[in-house]
Each structure stands twice: as C-alpha cells, then as structure tokens.
Chains A and B, each alone.
Chain A
Amino acid sequence: MNLTLRVWRQKGPQDKGGFVDYPAKDVSPDSSFLEMLDRVNEELESRGEEPIAFDHDCREGICGMCSMMINGYPHGLEKGTTACQLHMRHFSDGQTITIEPWRVKPFPIVRDLITDRTAFDRIIQAGGYVSVNTGSAPEANMIPISKEIADAAFDVAACIGCGACAASCPNGSAMLFVSAKVTHLNGLPQGEPELLERTRRMVEQMDAEGFGNCSNHRECEVACPKEIQMRNISKMNRDFIRSSVLSRVFGTNGKS
C-alpha cells in the first residue's frame, strides 16, 4: 500500500517546526508503524536527507518510548497498544497519516517526534519507591499478599510511563500516570507505611512540573496503551485528601 505521511519536523527545542509531507511507498500491511517509519527513513538517508527522529526501544510495547500522535490518536486508534505494536493493516491504501509529537508543556520537544519526558522521572524520584533496609534478600514468602491485592497492584504496575495520558488530556494533566504509580505502591504492604508521604510528594512534584488538572474528560483512559483505569485517580485523590487534610486535622497518621 502507498501512503502519505504528514510528519512534524522540528530541528531542536527552539526551532519553530512545521509539517512536511513524505510518500511511503510499497508499505507491507504486516509491517509495524515503526518499521514503516524505518523504511521511510532509509529512503531519506539514501537521498542524503535528515531522517525523521522518533523515540523507540523495545518495540514490544513495554518500554514506553515510541510516543507519537497518529492521526489525532495517541499511539494510533487501536486500543491497548503502543505505536510500535500498531500494524499498517489498520490503515488503508492512499491514506494521509498525520504524525505529531506529544504536545504538553512539561514534555518539551527535543527534535521532530521526540519529547523529553524526564518530568515523569522526577515525579517517580519524589516518592515512587519503597524504603527498605539493605542486607541479604528477604525471604520471598515473608509478607503474604492476597491475590486481589497483587492483581490490583499489577494492573497499575503495567504503566510504562509513555505519557499518552498527559498527551491526550485536554487539560495536559498527568494524573493517570501519577495515580498509577501512587496506587501501585500504596496498595501493597511494602508501600503502605509511606502512603501519606508518597502521595503528597508525588502530587506536589506533578504540580511543580506544570501538568494540568483532571476534569474527568476520560480521554486518558482510552488513550492508555496499558488500559489503566481512572479509578486510580479517584484512589489517589482519596489518599491525597487523607494525607494533606485528615492527617493534619486529626493528627493521626491518616489511617482509618
């Protein structure tokens, strides 16, 4: 199949940037979206032109690097997949595909489709960990965790930090990402002791990075390649209110 790509090209963070059209010829319907871009890039290079810069790493949907807006959908229209897992068979011959980088202020554009998502790393550094004493590895069965709790934690641990939630949000809010990280640890016995501090610090860092505020448009939920649910935002709100109001007013550790 033959396609036209309308790609955002931007030389650097300060460059104004703009769309450039490229033909993609003889695209196999079985190739992935990134393989299709690879072939276009090979052709660009052979002509001595600058290839389209895009982030990618694992190409199996677990690293969260291949962030791009494809025809107005984060990671493309297919549900629960990243751009690297998107196959060209979902497009039709002769189609024009618009490819843009994430557009959220806290993710500055580095070049073309690559954005700097270290804002997420700083949010993790603020509280996305559990404090453990060093020493020999603990016995694996020391802390019993029920299947329900383990499953719930794993559902949110699936978050790959790709940024599609913030990129899809009409408010530029990263609350789905932060809530996934917060509830992942808050729900487990290892993370529970630091629940109050963690929630407060990660939310404060999220605000300091300049992300917007959730107003329940629910766009993030459909955009998320790992199908993380907005119930986690509700849980994070509850934990945050516990941390910054209830524990202050009642002077407890906020445990009910």
Chain B
Amino acid sequence: MSWVSTFYGSSIGKKTIVAVTGAIMVLFLIGHMLGNLQVFAGPGTATEPAKLDEYAELLRFEIGILWAIRVALITTVVLHIITVVKLRAENSAARGQNYAVRHYQRANAFSRSMFWGGLALFAYIVYHILHLTAGVAHANLFEHGHVYANVIRSFQQPLIAGVYVVATVCLYFHLFHGVVSLFQTLGVSHPRHLQAVEKFGHALAAIIVIGFASVPIGVLLGVVK
C-alpha cells in the first residue's frame, strides 16, 4: 500500500483527493437540500406530524447507520480541508516575491475565494451542526425531535436567517469553481465541453443554493409558519 502515500505525497494525488472528497460533499448537499425542501409541506396536523419531522425520524431508523454516515462525512470534510491546507502551503512556498505590478486576466472572484470562502463555510458548518443538530447554539429555540418547529423558530430571527443566507452565497462561489475544477482535476475536461461544464457548474450551484436559501427566506417572508 506504499503507493497510497506516494500518491498522496504528489501534487496531482492531493488534488485528486480534494476533487473526490468535494464530489462526495456535492452529492450529500443535493440530498440534504432535497430533504430540507419538505419544510414547505407545512407543520402537519393534530394527528399527523410535519413531513420534515417524519423525514428526520426516517434518517434515524438505525442509529448505527446514521453514525457510520456521519463519521464518513466528517472524515470527508476533514480530509478535504487538511489536503487543501497542505496544497496551499506548497503553493505559498512556490511563489517568489510578489510582483510589483500584476494584472490577472482569468483568475476571478470564484477561483480566488476558494480557500477563505471554504474556511468560512467550515465555520458555518460547525455553527449549523451546533444549532440544528446538537441544539446548543441557540438552546432556547431548540427542542430535540421537533425539527420543523426548530427551523421555523430559528429563522424567524432575522439574524440567524441572515447568517444562513450569507452562507449560501459563500456556497455558490465555492461550488461553482469546485464543480468545474473537479472535472479538470479528474482528467475528464476538454475545451469543447468547457462552456457546457461551466454552465453545469453555475446551474448545479444555483439549484443547490436556491434550494438551501429558500428555507430561511421562506420563513422570514412568512411563506411557512
């Protein structure tokens, strides 16, 4: 298995790990976003619980499997971040003194915000888990097992909803460059498809981000109560 450490030690090996872990997170995000949309099914009735609460219950049908998935996801996130930190350290070491005059022609807000935008997203994820999973960030607004009520109560606070919306904007920037880059890194990109891949990146990022942002915005606007 020495090839694993050799591969991880190489530039392209590390880039591949970032791309693969990124792809796993994108798949998770799509599922997470679709699950969230069930908030729009409403609070349920006296006899029937909210669709969102039923869904949350479904995810817990086997606590062992739930924890296995959680551990896998945490490993993915940690591997993604550690690898990026290593790559960034190598990049800084490779750069000489800064140019006195330098005009970038292609590097843009998307490609240049990956590192700090990514760290901001990580901070947000920690907050998000403390808020709506562990229930400790805003303990007064949280009741275990009542997902729908927790979501509504939290997002009726403009500050909390604002943090979530800002996070989705960060997510858009990170996802667009990430999705387009992962095709390039995994060796499946071609200039003939670049425009299509970029459109796909924007579309996928937009769908995921609109899906996520619709919940806090929907609650703030009183669409769901």
Contacts and interface: CB of A to CB of B under 8 A. Distances in A.
B94 A172 contact: yes
Given A203-B11, A216-B181, A170 B96 contact: no
A235 interface: yes
Main secondary structure of the interface of A (DSSP, over half): mixed
A173 B91 CA distance: 7
Interface stretch (B68-76, B131-139, B185-193, B214-222): B185-193
B99 A222 contact: no
Interface in A1-48: 6, 8, 19
A103 B97 contact: yes
B10 A234 contact: no
A235 B87 CA distance: 20
B101 A237 contact: no
Contacts of A235: 187
Interface stretch (B44-52, B107-115, B122-130, B160-168): B107-115
Contacts of A221: 106
Interface in A76-108: 98, 100, 102-107
A71 B105 CA distance: 13
A72 B107 CA distance: 14
Interface stretch (B13-21, B32-40, B58-66, B204-212): B13-21
Nearest to B8: A244
Contacts of B13: 240, 244
Contacts of B6: 244
Contacts of A172: 91, 94-96
Interface of A: 6, 8, 19, 69, 71-73, 98, 100, 102-107, 170-173, 175, 203-204, 206-207, 210-219, 221-223, 229-231, 233-241, 244-245, 248
